[in-house]
Amino acid sequence: MASPAQADGSVNIYSYRQPYLIQPLLNRFTEETGIETNIVYASKGLGERIKAEGVNSPVDVMLTVDIGRLEGAKTLGFAAPLDNATINANIPENFRDPENRWFGLTGRARVVYASKERVTQNTITYAELADPKWKGRICTRSGQHDYTIGLIASIIAHEGTDKAKAWLSAVKENLARKPTGNDRAQVQAIYSGECDIALGNTYYMGKMLTNDKEPEQETWAKSVKILFPDAEGRGSHVNISGMVLAEHAPNRDNAVRLMEFLTSDEAQGLYAEINFEYPLNPHVAPSELVSSWGKLHPDSLPLIEIAKHRREASELVDEVAFDDGPSS
Ligand SMILES: [Fe+2]
Ligand 1 centroid, distance to 204 Cα (angstroms): 7
Per-residue pLDDT of the chain (328 residues; tens, 9 = 90+): 444 444 569 999 999 999 999 999 999 999 999 999 999 999 999 999 999 999 999 999 999 999 999 999 999 999 999 999 999 999 999 999 999 999 999 999 999 999 999 999 999 999 999 999 999 999 999 999 999 999 999 999 999 999 999 999 999 999 999 999 999 999 999 999 999 999 999 999 999 999 999 999 999 999 999 999 999 999 999 999 999 999 999 999 999 999 999 999 999 999 999 999 999 999 999 999 999 999 999 999 999 999 999 999 999 999 999 999 999 7
Instruction: State the pLDDT at residue 328.
Output: 79
Ligand 1 centroid, distance to 125 Cα (angstroms): 22
Ligand 1 centroid, distance to 55 Cα (angstroms): 31
The CA distance from 120 to 114, in Å, is: 9
Ligand 1 centroid, distance to 207 Cα (angstroms): 11
Ligand 1 centroid, distance to 2 Cα (angstroms): 35
CA atoms in the 13 A half-sphere facing the CB of 121? 14
Measure the CA angle with vertex 110, ends 106 and 112; round to 5°: 140
Ligand 1 centroid, distance to 218 Cα (angstroms): 17
The CA distance from 170 to 313, in Å, is: 15
Residue 321 burial (CB count, 10 A)? 12
Ligand 1 centroid, distance to 93 Cα (angstroms): 23
Instruction: State the pLDDT at residue 289.
Output: 97
Ligand 1 centroid, distance to 295 Cα (angstroms): 20
Ligand 1 centroid, distance to 250 Cα (angstroms): 30
Ligand 1 centroid, distance to 52 Cα (angstroms): 27
Q: For the whole prediction, is pTM greater than 0.85?
A: yes
Would you say 277 and 203 are in contact if contact means Cβ atoms under 8 Å apart?
yes
Ligand 1 centroid, distance to 25 Cα (angstroms): 18
Ligand 1 centroid, distance to 240 Cα (angstroms): 10
Q: Which residues contact 226 (CB under 8 A, 6 or more apart)?
A: 111, 112, 113, 114, 202, 205, 293, 294
Ligand 1 centroid, distance to 287 Cα (angstroms): 17
Ligand 1 centroid, distance to 138 Cα (angstroms): 19
Ligand 1 centroid, distance to 29 Cα (angstroms): 24
The torsion angles phi and psi of 281, rounded to 5 degrees, stand at -70, 115
Instruction: Specify burial of residue 325 (Cβ count, 10 A radius: 0-12, 13-18, 19+).
Output: middle
The CA distance from 267 to 271, in Å, is: 6
Instruction: State the pLDDT at residue 8.
Output: 67
The CA distance from 90 to 202, in Å, is: 22
The CA distance from 250 to 51, in Å, is: 15
Ligand 1 centroid, distance to 9 Cα (angstroms): 32
Ligand 1 centroid, distance to 201 Cα (angstroms): 7
